[in-house]
Chain A
Amino acid sequence: EAGVAQSPRYKIIEKRQSVAFWCNPISGHATLYWYQQILGQGPKLLIQFQNNGVVDDSQLPKDRFSAERLKGVDSTLKIQPAKLEDSAVYLCASSQSPPSTFFGQGTRLTVV
């Protein structure tokens, strides 16, 4: 079965710029997660979708981060404006039967 797809793999932006990441989950997986993984740390959940509804966004910095999953399949995560501390790997994951979760390759964001 195809895995979770993410793009781009790498992104370098200047602080205060905006950036968007895209994720296509495993086919049939109703639950989609966005995680932030800072170097040397474990993944931290930013937002969890069930189909196109938000289940948990308690750790999403809503002043600068936004995410959507309009048709219950693909999702985008946006940061605007970016800060230096947003440099991290952004991992998308999906699940058919939460919380068993499968990760994509991630997008490595560097903010300079």
Chain B
Amino acid sequence: GENVEQHPSTLSVQEGDSAVIKCTYSDSASNYFPWYKQELGKRPQLIIDIRSNVGEKKDQRIAVTLNKTAKHFSLHITETQPEDSAVYFCAGGYQKVTFGTGTKLQVIP
């Protein structure tokens, strides 16, 4: 089955700086890669996703890149704000997704 690895496990950035979270996947058949944000005690919320026929997707301050050859994808958050502080999960798969282990992002005001 699919195996998704995520790095780093924790990330602290100053407000206004950029944050980058990286994931790798194992199954070349995977074609869908969503990113979820989970605030403490709340549900995972889909923030952006990308399909394998696209190399990059952007939505305001967040962007995701995908390198199918290397089997890795990344989340980029620019101009970080304190409300971006949360745990971020990457996931990948075909008909179902496998989640990474999460990155706890702390944005320091």
Contact = CB atoms under 8 A, between A and B. Distances in A.
A48 B96 contact: yes
A44 interface: yes
A80 B54 CA distance: 44
A33 B93 CA distance: 14
Interface of B (DSSP majority class): strand
A112 interface: no
A61 B100 CA distance: 21
A27 interface: no
B61 interface: no
Interface string B94-105: 111111111000
Interface residues of B, number: 23
A9 B96 CA distance: 25
A109 interface: no
Contacts of A42: 6, 89, 91, 99-102
Interface of B: 1, 6, 32, 34, 36, 42-46, 49, 89, 91, 93-102
Interface of A: 33, 40-45, 48, 55-56, 58, 91, 98-106
